[in-house]
Copies of this chain bind each other. A is one copy, B any other.
Amino acid sequence: MPYVMVQIPKTPAPSPPAPRSVPTSADVARLAGVSRATVSYVLNNTSAVRISEPTRRRVHEAAKELGYVPHAAARSLRAGHSRMVLMPAPSIPVGPLYSRFINELQWALSRLDYTVVQYGTVGLHGDEAARAWAELRPVAVLVPGSGLGPQGVAVLKRSGARAVVTLGPKSVEGAHALLMNHEKVGHCAGAHLYARGRRRIGVVVPEESGLEFFSLPRLEGVRRALRGTDATVTELPLAYEEEAAARLAARWRALGLDAVFAYNDEYAMLLMRALQDQGVAVPEDTAVIGADDLMLGRLLRPRLSTVHIELPSGRDLAELVDRTVHNPAAAPETHKVLGATVVHRDSS
């Protein structure tokens, strides 16, 4: 253990209770003086069978005394299915927007009696990851981002997943898709800047890896918005560091841009500060617009214009999952679920 960790002396623990092994339903049955079947009936409240009240009590008491906890694997093995909904855990720090969405989703799914599990997928790519997920035999799989191919979908379905839903830029053969087309975000921003009379438009693209799936479509959206006009689009790679922003700002006048769309509000804040430190006036010399409509944009001066993004509600996605689980044969649906609207404030 390294420097940060400082061991604290403990009073020697009282001799721990004999580490008997994990209690099973058979143990409960034995203690209650009944059969395993009866234990199962009682603990699952099986309605098809009536168990006498004294027996029920004995079973419950025995279970409590032993600290019995049913074995999920054994149960789902026997049942032939589970109610586990699996999502890969995001491997990049994720904004408050997406966090809220995930929470809502978990809540909605647990209302429908599903168990949501985020699987720590690291270093597993594409279909390799799909195999790992499939080993858990989830009833449904939700996959944000791209990276799952038709192969992966097939693997999951063959392993019993009744619903596979992707949340990403494009739909995947065989899976339901919630299309989150981030081009729309860039398109909004580009159109807005153009309408405000700007013609030489920069687009900040984060250098941090893992963000390409958002940043490139956003860039492309700006390009699309300005295609066929007299405006130009300049790609501006930028790392999320003060020095990088300062360097970019230092050559700002040379770039001759009159507006910039900054990927999101955080990059916008970073760049805007660097520009102001360089004496570039916002919005007079250069208009700035971000995205994601974070709180911090409202706190900047000038207040930051931004693109507000509307994600699907967790409840709706939960319902889609539930519907598909009940009717897996239905043709995969594709929904466009990303709403983007400009919030015009003072920086543009």
A-to-B contact residues, CB < 8 Å? 1-2, 4-8, 10, 12-13, 19, 22-23, 67, 69-74, 76-77, 82, 89, 91-94, 96, 99-100, 102-103, 106-107, 109-110, 115-120, 122-123, 131-132, 134-137, 154-155, 158-160, 174, 179, 240, 242, 266, 269-270, 273, 295-296, 298-299, 301, 310, 312-313, 316, 319-320, 329, 331-337, 339
Q: Which residues of B contact A179 (CB under 8 A)?
A: 8
Closest to A99 in B: B93
- On chain B, the residues within 8 Å of A67 by CB distance are 154-155, 158-159
**Min CB distance, A314 to chain B, in Å?**
11
Alpha-carbon gap, A123 to B116, bound state (A): 13
Question: A177 → chain B, closest Cβ, in Å?
Answer: 9
B316 and A135 contact, CB distance less than 8 A:
no
Tell which of A96, A120, A131, A337 has the most Cβ of chain B within 10 Å.
Answer: A120
Copies of this subunit? 2
Q: Which residues of B contact A131 (CB under 8 A)?
A: 69
Q: Are B295 and A240 neighbours in the complex by a CB distance under 8 Å?
A: yes
A75's closest neighbor in chain B, by CB?
B135
Residues of B near A269 (CB, < 8 A) are 296, 299
Which among B4, B160, B310 is the interface contact of A312 at CB below 8 angstroms? B4
Residues of chain B within 8 A of A332, CB atoms compared: 10, 13
- Distance to closest chain B CB from A170 (angstroms): 12
> Across the interface, which residues of B come within 8 angstroms of A295, CB to CB?
240, 242, 266, 270
Are B336 and A6 in contact, with the CB atoms below 8 A?
Answer: yes
Knowing A77-B71, A269-B299 are in contact, say whether A110-B94 is a contact too (CB < 8 A): no
Chain B residues whose CB sits within 8 angstroms of the CB of A69 once the complex forms: 131, 134-135, 155, 158-159
CB-defined A-B contacts under 8 Å, sample of 20 = A1-B316, A7-B335, A8-B334, A67-B154, A67-B159, A69-B131, A69-B134, A69-B135, A71-B135, A73-B73, A73-B74, A73-B137, A91-B103, A93-B100, A109-B120, A115-B132, A117-B118, A117-B120, A242-B295, A269-B299
